[in-house]
Chain A
Amino acid sequence: MKRRTFSSLAAGLGLAASLMGTSAMAQDNMRIALVVKALGIGFFEAAAEGAQEAAAELGNVEIIYTGPTTTTAEGQIEVINSLIAQGVDAIAISANDPDAVVPALQRAMQRGITVISWDSGVAEEGRMMNLNPSSTELIGNTIIRLAADHMPEGGQVAILSATATSTNQNAWIAAAEAVLPDFPGIELVATVYGDDLSDKSYREAQGLMASFPDLQAIIAPTTVGILAACQAVSDAGKIGEINVTGLGLPSEMAGCVESGATKSFAIWNPIDLGYTATMIAHALATGAATAEPGAEIPTGRMGSVTLDDTTSAAMSDPFTYDASNIDQFKDIF
């Protein structure tokens, strides 16, 4: 009996402490760190813009936009450790490696920091929830459809990816291969890797044109690759014969769409992505929502997301850009 009284007392104290904690938090600015793969990438700069938009909407939220200068897991671990030392309230990370950052993120969670991953996910034990910009299946389907839309009679397509070990690209390519039977006449003849280097991607695109004279489309699900392929096709004088498509940013792709080397391409809206990640991090950090399978988390103007069994959620479908809307978006991101 005595013990029970003590435990309820302890529970009461704990509740009081947590209430005080919450009220103290409400007075101070909540600090949400947006950790990106590397600084200096247009996509992440745009995501940071969306995070600022969400912060302005929520009020009392400060966004710390940070990341390493090169896309390495080691660099991100250093950044995470410094964020733990600063005592931020939440970390939203796009990981360079799904596993290498887990121990650092677990330390953050042990210290009461809300941890979510977005864009490029972290293994389940290293985060509370993961926000995918879209689902892998939807992206795989979209990149094949982008090519197939302009090939009514079918033909050969090839994929120019980033590195052979990129988590994102490999998942999308696997999904694209899975939906190929839905596109009769479309034949995937090769998958090559440009390592996200302009010169290597350019050479790989040249190699594809040399090896497959009947090639009709190059699908590059990476921004460096799609630009290099577009330049290689233009330089080879094959605009109109080979359509370069895939995933790219409107500001970077405007020239390719204008020259006709690219008929259409897709990307989710990174502004929406940074916005949604911030909304979710805020909801979890304030306790307004909990990260558990089946939970529905409201995300402001983006509606809401529902967590699946692995506490992952998909934001929306990728959006297709072409000559009709490129001018509207090229100045945004």
Chain B
Amino acid sequence: MLRTLFAKPRLRGGVHAEERKSATENAPVITRFPLPKKLYIPLQQHVGKPAEPMIKVGDTVLKGQLLAYSQGMISAPVHAPSSGLIVDVNDYPAPHPSALPIRTIVLETDGKDEWLAVPTVEDPFLLPPEEISLRVGAAGIVGLGGATFPTAVKLNMGRENQVQTLIINGAECEPYLTCDDRLMQERAAAIIDGVRLMLHGMGTASAVVAIEDNKNHAYTAMYTAALPYAQIKVIQIPTRYPMGWDRQLIRYVTGKEIPVGARSSELGVTIHNVGTAYAVHKAIRYGQPLVNRIVTVSGGAVGQPMNVEVPLGTLISELFSFCQVNMDKTARIIMGGPMMGDALPHSTLPVVKGTSGVLALTQDELRDKQEQPCIRCASCVTVCPAGLRPLDMANNIRINQLDTAVDLGLKDCISCGCCSYICPSNIPLVQYFKFASGEVMARQQAQHKSEQTKKLMDARNARLEKVARLQAEEERERLAAKAERERRLAAEAAAEAEAEENA
């Protein structure tokens, strides 16, 4: 008893954000989304290097066909989300707050939605574990919780580190979002199958599926589906944002705290999202690569909020017109949840692998009030799950003391948004931290460039000197040769003259 009192807290910080999930959590996932005429498939939908296109404009492709292969160790391939004609490979706006251009393949669908025929495996559990991660990598699966880290890389790391525990993240702690909730309610058996395949692929003995206790239906469905498999445990965890932060969840489930700079697999734990487990099931059992996903469309400006399964590359504007979004009432479009998601400048941007939700929020739902002075209430310190002091960091960033902010732990900030959420003075704390992180990065790059410049200049000076020296040497040699020649001529002349005289 006493020991539990003095043990490290398993849960620190966090907020009880208003959930606002009721609009979408009770209706089934819509699967009859009309196939868009054009799909915009960015070549980088994951952490790591962008994929390299292997088709050209004018090619006809089938659904699931490889469009761009992965490049380098950390990367993921991209597949055709439907059958049709490749009409362009060019720069298009990226689903990013800046909407800056990104290399994108444009696919004109033919309406047949015809799958590429692939051989399927009889019993995937007979495959060697390496084969599972190879197939997962080839299917272009990335972490679907939003981090978009290539799943195959994580499976390999898990296998190499002989991980003992696999945690399946079904927390879905962001307000509004219910796509994982619905997936667990409707396709529990498939997820559990995916979990078993992942366990096989990593050679890991047991898995824990962690679901927040506000999702009772999902818990029941998953619990029932996992009953036949003793190695998979389904547990309920407290509802508290950011419960889905991988390191928080690992600490809650296993009591282990991941040191800064280390990967969880080094401590024998790996964590994957429920959506990822489902995608693994699809890829291994049916040979289907990751070409569509479930997206929550919600918010006050949405006429028909829903979870809808759409092909990747669908424009958000088409999604919005399907869900009857009132653009006049929309004050902000957000990709992801309202805590960590990013505001998008417009809606002609594609859905990508990491898009868990698209929100159209009205002004009333947002908090956009005037920033007021900090009263040092320290609620940001209390809610910070990373144990930082956001108020001190922001005060230093405000006066451009970035080094102090870094000393205070700027690099340990996970941008979860708890501090901005709780701040009674409406201070955009997370934005201060994002600004400062970018600035620190830019300074490092500039420092690097300055060093490079010095090297370039030294090289140039050395080269100029060498050229000058060589020229001088040549000149000297030329002069010496000339003198030699003249001396020889003179000697010859003298010899001749002597000979003549003698003669």
Q: Is B a genuine binding partner of A?
A: no
